[in-house]
Amino acid sequence: MIHARITGTGSYLPGSPISNDALIAAHGLDSSDDWIVERTGIKARHFAGPGVAASDLAYEAGRQALAAAGRAPNDIDLVIVATSTPDYVFPSTAALLQAKLGIKSGGAAFDVQAVCSGFMYALTIAEKFILSGSHKCALVVGAEVFSRILDWKDRGTCVLFGDGAGAVVLEASAEPGILASSLHADGSYNSILSVPGQVSGGQAIGDPFVRMDGQAVFKFAVKVLAEVASEVVAAAGLTPADIDWLVPHQANIRIIQSTARKFGLPMEKCILTVHDHGNTSAASIPLAFDHGVRSGRIKCGDVVLFEGVGGGFTWGATLLKY
């Protein structure tokens, strides 16, 4: 039987950490370190410099993941990049990444847009390709430069996000890897988190910045994350007690605490990066996973639960044996 297994991880954060105080000073925000830490857990984030695009961050994370998996660029027959901040309208960031990594295998490359759930969507798509037998070795990346779509006058959103990338190599394997996955969406919630603009006639039409109803997002996220986590654990025939590590989307420490509590998981089993990275949208789960692996906490054979929720609204979870 074919399984899909993660064989390498990588991540990248651009530049130096920017503290809450530095961000507040740079943009003249009516806010405070205390407010941001208390409501979100965020203490710092990274921003890409001018001219640095999502594919540049994806390249650094992808390069590390290939090295960790012991794979050469031409072993990769599928590249999927989850991003809501692509380099261009087209070509896809995945195609640009394929070129930057020197992948000439002729395999497929495409982007997935499911905002903060993007990596969950991309990973599950890659899993289906591998289980179908059509592809053998995928590079799955979450990469974002959310700093480009933040309104620095909106203190309710601009303090929450950061830039970064995370990547995994997902391969066909005789050993179990991904045990269960589930994806969901409910487009009727599209207005509570959106960037309601577009490029048309040579200019940005509408509003090109992140807009959010924070309290509505909070309530929705807590509800669906607990549900989808239970769903994949049950589908794999396991219980929450079998989980070694929860790697949640790093939006807000209070959302993470609330979903962990609902699911009966102690916080010691959560990989947390939100304090140092902020919310890096589609990059946050693979970034946190790579940090967990490289810090030696997540070990080979551990049972790991990924879960994410984002604009759309979209949400999903994956349970895997690392």
| Active site amino acids | 116, 249, 279
HSE-up (13 A, CA, CB side) for residue 300: 5
Tokens of 159: 């303090």
The angle, 0 to 180 degrees and rounded to 10, between the axes of the packed helices 93-100 and 54-69 is 50
User: Are 10 and 67 a contacting pair, CB within 8 Å?
Assistant: yes
User: Are 316 and 121 a contacting pair, CB within 8 Å?
Assistant: yes
Minimum separation from the CB atom of position 304 to ligand ACO (A)? 20
Residues in Cβ contact with 270 at an 8 Å cutoff, skipping those fewer than 6 apart: 245, 246, 247, 248, 256, 260
Beta strands in the chain (DSSP E): 3-12, 18-19, 44-45, 78-82, 108-112, 137-145, 163-173, 178-185, 193-194, 197-200, 203-206, 211-212, 245-248, 303-310, 314-321
Distance CA 246, CA 288 (A): 10
- The 229-258 contact track toward ligand ACO, x by CB under 6 A, reads --------------------x-xx------
Minimum separation from the CB atom of position 158 to ligand ACO (A)? 8
User: Is residue 159 part of the contact set for ligand ACO (CB under 6 A)?
Assistant: yes
Minimum separation from the CB atom of position 210 to ligand ACO (A)? 8
- Count of residues for the chain? 322
Secondary structure of residue 135 in the 3-state scheme: coil
User: Is residue 11 part of the contact set for ligand ACO (CB under 6 A)?
Assistant: no
Of 109, 120, 125, 160, the one binding ligand ACO by CB under 6 A: 160
User: Is residue 306 part of the contact set for ligand ACO (CB under 6 A)?
Assistant: no
Which C-beta is closer to ligand ACO: that of 64 or that of 83?
Answer: 83
Residue nearest to ligand ACO (CB): 214
User: Is residue 116 part of the contact set for ligand ACO (CB under 6 A)?
Assistant: yes
Which C-beta is closer to ligand ACO: that of 35 or that of 110?
Answer: 35
User: Is residue 27 part of the contact set for ligand ACO (CB under 6 A)?
Assistant: no
Of 193, 222, 247, 287, the one binding ligand ACO by CB under 6 A: 193
Of 146, 189, 218, 245, the one binding ligand ACO by CB under 6 A: 218
Q: Which residues bind ligand ACO (CB under 6 A)?
A: 31, 35-36, 39-40, 116, 155-156, 159-160, 193, 212, 214-215, 217-218, 221, 249, 251-252, 279, 309-310
